[in-house]
Amino acid sequence: MTRLLDACGKSRNKELRAAVVIALNTGLRLGELLGLNWIYVDLSRGVIRLEITKSGRRREVPLNGDSYQALVSLTPKAEGRVFQTRFIKTAYNNAVAIAKLDDVNFHTLRHTFASWAVMRGVSLKELQELLGHSSLAMTMRYAHLAPEHLRAAVSRLEGLTNSQRAETPTQESTQEPSEQVRLSQNSSK
């Protein structure tokens, strides 16, 4: 990614590096990025409001420090397009070639964002919301990147069936699991 960002920084398109940094840190699609208007960027709250999305539903995307700084570098205005040039895709493709990267397009930045998020512990449900996927099934393609989430899930149950936990069995512990659930539900009423 460093080679790509370096190539973007050397581009004649002065908006390119900021666009790539924002895409890598928000997961925005190219169309969402190019359609950004300053009236939908709330720097005080640190969010971008997307009015027109692929799914047809509005969503807010939070900014992290890197995406915030990239937006600020574009000289925020009261209104108007965030990106003045429509040639970001061409400039990006040129930067990819200069960086000598194969099979990389602008949508790769969205996949990179999702992959990085999952590998750093973002839940698939949270990722679904960030990406604006209409169903969790679309987001599941990234599940293989977080095999530890399954281990963490079952580790939360650790010790519940440990026979050394209690020296004398109680009525509750001698019951079948389904009976224990009923007992615990009744005792909480």
Query: Exposed, middle or buried by CB within 10 Å (0-12, 13-18, 19+), for 99?
Result: middle
Q: How far is it, in rounded angstroms, from Cα 189 to Cα 187?
A: 5
Indicate if 57 belongs to the active site: no
Single out the residue of 37, 34, 36, 4 nearest to residue 21, CA to CA: 4
HSE-CB of 149 using CA atoms within 13 angstroms: 15
Residue from 54, 57, 141, 182 carrying the catalytic annotation = 54
Return the axis-axis angle of helices 106-119 and 124-131, rounded to nearest 10°. 150
Q: Which residues touch 7 (CB under 8 Å, ≥6 apart)? A: 95, 96, 98, 99
- What's the residue count for the chain? 189
User: Is the dihedral angle over the CA atoms 25, 27, 33, 39 positive or is it negative?
Assistant: negative
Indicate if 107 belongs to the active site: yes
Q: Report yes or no: 118 and 127 within 8 Å, Cβ to Cβ.
A: yes
Indicate if 189 belongs to the active site: no
Residue from 10, 14, 45, 107 carrying the catalytic annotation = 107
Catalytic residues, which ones? 29, 54, 107, 110, 133, 142
